[in-house]
Chains A and B, each alone.
Chain A
């Protein structure tokens, strides 16, 4: 006798519930291994640090790096690498060194041939055409250009024509995104020079401009930190921020500026922007694996830093010792704080309704308190920094975006950090 024809909705008919409820693992060990195997995209940063002196930089650094790459566990190696940043790939190294290291990386990780963000950070005035061609041939499609403190302090005077020529050549090579890392806060920088510098950069129309405080050692290197000054930092930052915003750049966080057609701007518009300790990405990478001396990792709740001294790093690799010199594991409160700060940086708003329902919080009160505290310190009105759509969202104003770092600090110290509410 034929089975009766079901008159229920068709969308729930296949696969049948008994199939869906079956375990996909043959045994408990297989299940455990599979759970460890996170296939979410991974960001990788290879850090080759600049050195202020001639000594202390081992020739064997690339060999040590290769061994560190080869020693990574499967749970990292099998994830698709959607974002790659290689800092200073040619610093005291040749074309063959980078080719060998990239070959090693490609042998041990799932590098992608398309839909990726592979960026090299280079001093564009020190880079040769062969190096650029090699980077492109190895699959890099983005370039982040840096300048020496001396070049920045002289507002690229005399170098802008050459820079424009090189940027045209880089586009001819097919780099889809050119960025400039603009470090401010040097002794020698004066407002007038900064205005000329930012005008030159805006004229070149790089897709991205990253503003880095010279005192922020995390982002920069000993060469810049040595001539950094804490005077006028805020004024310099405001000057650069206003100039880039007026020129039509879209801002991520308050220190990453992108042209409206750039992939990051599109990701922000579509609410698909992600951020790691490295920077923003449009390829859904929420974890960062750092390789090389001083590299930072952000793997789920774990934050870790590799041994920063290149010589000590090579020694540790040779002896098979752990490379981490510092590590921090986010607790539940830390994760919540990161969620709020990521939303502030990526979208300049906090989705209060979502967070309240997920974490059983009353986030509005905590955020209002933090904003009020900061507004008091700035002698301003809280509404000049943020607007609240009760129970749903907090949006930053233009002034709020400018003061984003202070807002994040206030949320950490005055809101979620101290009061908790968890």
Chain B
């Protein structure tokens, strides 16, 4: 079993060994509102307790705090409980490249699975609470609870899929298609969390969006303005209201799939 001090992110309070949430001891997988989309999905109530036993919960990260850094040893994966995390990679010429956004209920940190070291860094975009899941213990538990293993592979497949879709999006698609694809992705992820799929607040800045999509900040702003003029959506700073989901879907998916 890994040492606790190794499993707690550098930015977290290392003295916190109580698996219950530091600022809210009542939080557990059993009563988490995200348990229908996070790891506990499809688990029996007793199995949820077993999962809960291995999870570490610490005080929230503040905006800009690192959850882990590139090349850190891979020890845990993290479920975002609230807030948003961005994953970044530093390119050969020293530039920051955003490689993903993780919303509540989503698992971050699987980039370390292949090599046992994280390939990316993960940074909180706002005040963010995470549940830390030591991977060795998760593997042990998965042997006892096959449905947990199955769900973990589902999450992993989603991660692989979105990586590939991003690579293709960046290599081939227009600015409009890229922005529409990101908005639709956030929309569908909100829907999974039983939030509004048409009205939401963008948790990331225009600069992060541009960086993620390979566009300049000005292009992102121009595309959003164009979408507004075309009646596809309403934009008010970070607030988005999608007015014509179908048209945005057609725009985002020219491939015919």
Docked complex Cα distance between A137 and B157 (Å): 9
Contact B161 A166 (CB under 8 A): no
Contact A96 B151 (CB under 8 A): yes
User: What sequence of 0s and 1s flags, for each residue 90-117 of chain A, a beta carbon within 8 Å of any chain B beta carbon?
Assistant: 0000111111100100000000000000
B165 within 8 A of A: yes
Please judge, given known A-B contacts A95-B158, A134-B157, whether A165 and B256 are in contact too, CB under 8 Å: yes
* Smallest beta-carbon distance A64→chain B, Å: 13
User: What sequence of 0s and 1s flags, for each residue 136-165 of chain B, a beta carbon within 8 Å of any chain A beta carbon?
Assistant: 000000000010011101111110111111
**A window 287-328: CB within 8 A of B:** none
Task: Report the nearest B residue to A165, measured CB to CB.
Answer: B256
Contact partner of B255 (CB less than 8 A), chosen from A98, A100, A138, A169, is A169
Contact partner of A166 (CB less than 8 A), chosen from B162, B164, B165, B255, is B255
Task: Report the nearest B residue to A100, measured CB to CB.
Answer: B153
Task: Report the nearest A residue to B255, measured CB to CB.
Answer: A169
Q: How many residues of B contact A (CB 8 A)?
A: 25
Of A39-47, A125-133, A181-189, A376-384, the one touching chain B = A125-133
Contact B164 A173 (CB under 8 A): yes
What A residues does B146 contact at CB under 8 A?
Answer: 63
A217 within 8 A of B: no
Contact partner of A137 (CB less than 8 A), chosen from B160, B172, B255, is B160
**B window 37-88: CB within 8 A of A:** none
Contact A134 B168 (CB under 8 A): no
Please judge, given known A-B contacts A95-B154, A129-B165, A133-B165, whether A172 and B257 are in contact too, CB under 8 Å: no
Contact B150 A96 (CB under 8 A): yes
What B residues does A97 contact at CB under 8 A?
Answer: 150, 153
B250 within 8 A of A: no
A247 within 8 A of B: no
* Smallest beta-carbon distance A34→chain B, Å: 30
Main SS class of interface, A: helix
Docked complex Cα distance between A100 and B254 (Å): 30
Contact B161 A133 (CB under 8 A): yes
B11 within 8 A of A: no
User: What sequence of 0s and 1s flags, for each residue 169-180 of chain A, a beta carbon within 8 Å of any chain B beta carbon?
Assistant: 100111000000
**A window 310-369: CB within 8 A of B:** none
B171 within 8 A of A: yes
Contact B157 A98 (CB under 8 A): yes
Contact partner of A132 (CB less than 8 A), chosen from B149, B163, B257, is B257
A245 within 8 A of B: no
Contact B257 A166 (CB under 8 A): yes
* Smallest beta-carbon distance B79→chain A, Å: 17
**A window 115-151: CB within 8 A of B:** 127-130, 132-134, 136-138
Contact A99 B172 (CB under 8 A): no
Docked complex Cα distance between A137 and B111 (Å): 13
* Smallest beta-carbon distance B154→chain A, Å: 3
Q: List 9 A-B contacts (CB under 8 A).
A: A96-B153, A96-B157, A99-B156, A99-B160, A129-B165, A129-B253, A130-B165, A137-B163, A165-B255
Give the B-binding residues of A (Cβ under 8 A). 63, 94-100, 103, 127-130, 132-134, 136-138, 162, 165-166, 168-169, 172-174
Rank and list the top 5 A-B pairs by shortest CB-CB distance, nearest first. A96-B154, A169-B255, A165-B256, A129-B257, A137-B160
Other than the known A95-B161, A172-B172, A172-B255, what 14 A-B pairs have Cβ atoms closer than 8 Å? A95-B157, A95-B158, A96-B151, A96-B154, A96-B155, A97-B150, A99-B157, A99-B160, A100-B153, A103-B156, A132-B257, A134-B164, A166-B257, A168-B255
